[in-house]
Amino acid sequence: MTVACTAALFRQTVVLLSGLLMTFAVSAQLTEDIRDIESSIIKIYTTSAAPDYFTPWRLMNPSQSSGSGAVISGNRILTNAHVVADASYVQVQKHNDPARYQGRVQFISHASDLALIVLDDDSFFDDTPALEIGELPEPNTEVFVFGYPVGGRTLSITKGILSRVEQQVYAHSGEFLLAGQIDAAINPGNSGGPVIVDGKIAGVVMQSAGGGRTESLGYFVPPDIVRHMLTDAGNGQYDGFPDLGFRTQDLESPAAKAAYGLRPEQSGVLVIKVFANSPADGVLRENDVVLSIDGYDVAGDSTIRLSRTLQTNYKHAIDLKQIGDGVPVRFSRQGEIQDATLTAQRRQASYSLVRGEQFDALPEYYIYGGILFVPLNMNLIKRWGADWTRTAPVNLLHARSQWSSPEKQEVVVALQVLAADVNLGYHDVRNWIVDSVNGVPVRDFYQFTRQLRDNKDPYVVFRGETGYQVVVNHDQAVASEAAILSQYRIPSAASDGLFDAGQLAAQP
């Protein structure tokens, strides 16, 4: 072997050794960085008891579950809302510490599936450094997921890649918000754990892709949504995400664009609904075309471009606003371009006749003549089980697709009949939607219950949409109330706060 060959081989060996040493150094540093984060990852134990919407005066059996969280500034633990929803007792546990400490929910945003837990004893946080909220990483960035999934008691760390970022339906709340998708393994118990990039929180794990059609796919709440929640929590009062009060459809058809006054090079979305008493009411009209929102041009497929790598639904530009913020909107009305600023307001209770799922709240109900009446909401519909889209009554599911209006804001359901003489002939009535009472259309549950409470007619006639009627003798309804409640062991004829149930008995 020549001297030149020997020298070349030596140089290659030196380069190889240098590379190995650098790899070891990076790996050691990475391991050390992970170790620094471990002490800030918290395991959360929750005991919860959700209301039973089939018998709304009762709670279902208490259940225990666990989740994950991360310590952030202010001696707070950031986690998912669904980890502590309907919680009656919350405990937290540090990494490598067998002791459990009692915590309490300081703030919860079910819409964004985020919550903050605090402890009365701040010494818990002496050896748990607060993690910073970072920025949303670029796609194809390597991420680490920390948490306490099922299958063991100790902290688990998985690695994955951020594959895409777009609007997703949050499983907990049904909200359509920005979410990141990663291919790291996510299992029950991971919920609420942080997604870490460069030592900072780049998201909060919230759900995995279900249905058995995908493998190792999960979603996390991105930093923008986390910051929105933290800002909302600043005054301790939940405001949530704003809404401008209009709905649109995609406008990609050349014929439709021309019909509504757009030139071929213009793009936007078609306004198909403007809700009364909303920020858009009196400003936008049906068949207007929204061209831009908050300075972002709206494409015909309802997307806006936030950055070179991020294009998502225009709703995200509204989601980032706080209540009271101004939102500039440019729109076209039959080819005439106009500009307006809408003031972001709290969302109405529901834009549909069916209210969204609620948590940490007791259901409303009213029993009159032995008939259990309730307002229709997603809590009730989901009471039919995980396959509720197939098993819930069709008439209740159909109501979800109907818009609310000032004349009709809510659906009232005769859920079941508590058999008694006063309701003889109607014992088989179940899940029946009441359309009117004594000829007065039902507007909402509030108006419905007060009409019954204040009734002076000898008979009350409930009528459904198809014309089917249920007739109750009012004096018998009043006289039999106490006996029916006693027979079925029901504490009150009305839910707490609906009104004084005793007033009904006082009617002549």
Structural contact between residues 230 and 240, judged by C-beta atoms closer than 8 angstroms? no
Shortest CA distance to 492 belongs to which of 60, 57, 59? 57
| Alpha carbons 298 and 314: distance in angstroms, whole number | 7
**Whose structure tokens read 């903050």?**
116
Shortest CA distance to 121 belongs to which of 94, 85, 95? 94
Main-chain phi, psi angles of 336, to 5 degrees? -95, 120
Structural contact between residues 7 and 40, judged by C-beta atoms closer than 8 angstroms? no
- The string of DSSP letters for 411-431 reads -EEEEEE---GGGTT-TT--S
Strand, helix or coil at 430?
Answer: coil
Choosing from 66, 68, 112, 113, the catalytic residue is 113
Structural contact between residues 98 and 154, judged by C-beta atoms closer than 8 angstroms? no
Choosing from 191, 278, 404, 495, the catalytic residue is 191
82 is catalytic: yes
- The string of DSSP letters for 274-293 reads E-TTSTTBTTB-TT-EEEEE
Pairing of strands 336-343, 326-333: antiparallel
228 is catalytic: no
Report the Cα 252 to chain-centroid distance in Å.
Answer: 30
Amino acid present at 490: I
| Alpha carbons 294 and 317: distance in angstroms, whole number | 7
113 is catalytic: yes
As annotated, the active-site residues are 82, 113, 191
